[in-house]
Amino acid sequence: MREHDLPARERRGRGKSRFDDDEPHFLKHGRPAEPALTEPDDEPDPEDPWSSWDGAVHGPEPHPEWLVTELAARDTELGVLKTGKEADVHLVRRAVPETGRSCLLAAKRYRDAQHRLFHRDAGYLEGRRVRRSRENRAMAGRTAFGRQMIAGQWAAAEFSALARLWEIGAESGRIAVPYPVQLLGTELMLEFVGDADEGQAAPRLAQLRPEPAELRDLWEQMVDALVVLARAGYAHGDLSPYNLLVHRGRLVMIDLPQVVDVVANPQGPEFLARDVRVVGAWFAARGLPALAVDPAELTGLLLQEAGIR
Domain at 114, CATH number = 3.30.200.20
Residue 108 CA to residue 85 CA, distance in Å, equals 12
What pLDDT score does 49 carry? 82
Question: What is the per-residue burial (b if ≥16 Cβ within 10 Å, else e) of 182-209?
Answer: bbbbbbbbbbbbbebeeeebbebbeeee
User: Are β-strands 260-261 and 74-83 bridged in parallel, bridged antiparallel, or unpaired?
Assistant: unpaired
Select from 162, 181, 201 the last residue of a domain: 201
In a domain, 29, yes or no: no
- Domain coverage including residue 134: 50-201
Nearest to 77 by CA among 39, 44, 55: 44
Q: Does residue 233 sit in the same domain as residue 253?
A: yes
Distance, first Cα to last Cα, the chain: 48
In a domain, 140, yes or no: yes
Nearest to 151 by CA among 110, 183, 106, 117: 110
What pLDDT score does 115 carry? 42
What pLDDT score does 168 carry? 96
pLDDT tens for each residue of the chain, 309 residues long: 445 555 545 444 433 343 334 344 434 444 445 555 444 445 555 555 899 999 999 999 999 999 999 999 999 999 999 988 789 999 999 999 999 999 999 999 998 655 444 444 555 445 545 455 554 454 444 444 445 555 678 899 999 999 999 999 999 999 999 999 999 999 999 999 999 988 899 999 999 999 999 999 999 999 999 999 999 999 999 999 999 999 999 999 999 988 999 999 999 999 999 999 999 999 999 999 988 899 999 999 999 999 987
Sheet of strand 187-191: strand arrangement: 57-58, 180-184, 187-191, 101-110, 87-96, 74-83
What pLDDT score does 108 carry? 96
Q: Is 38 left (phi over 0), alpha (psi -120 to 50) or beta?
A: beta
In a domain, 44, yes or no: no
Q: Does residue 73 sit in the same domain as residue 114?
A: yes
Q: Does residue 89 sit in the same domain as residue 164?
A: yes
HSE-CB of 7 using CA atoms within 13 angstroms: 23
What residues are paired with 102 via a beta bridge?
A: 95
- Contact between 147 and 113 (Cβ < 8 Å): yes
Q: Does residue 59 sit in the same domain as residue 193?
A: yes
What's 267's domain CATH number? 1.10.510.10
In a domain, 3, yes or no: no
Select from 201, 218, 249 the last residue of a domain: 201
The total number of structural domains that make up the chain:
2
Select from 186, 201, 216 the last residue of a domain: 201
Q: How many CB atoms lie within 10 A of CB 78?
A: 14
Q: Does residue 150 sit in the same domain as residue 216?
A: no
In a domain, 208, yes or no: yes
Q: Does residue 81 sit in the same domain as residue 191?
A: yes
Identify the DSSP state of 168: H
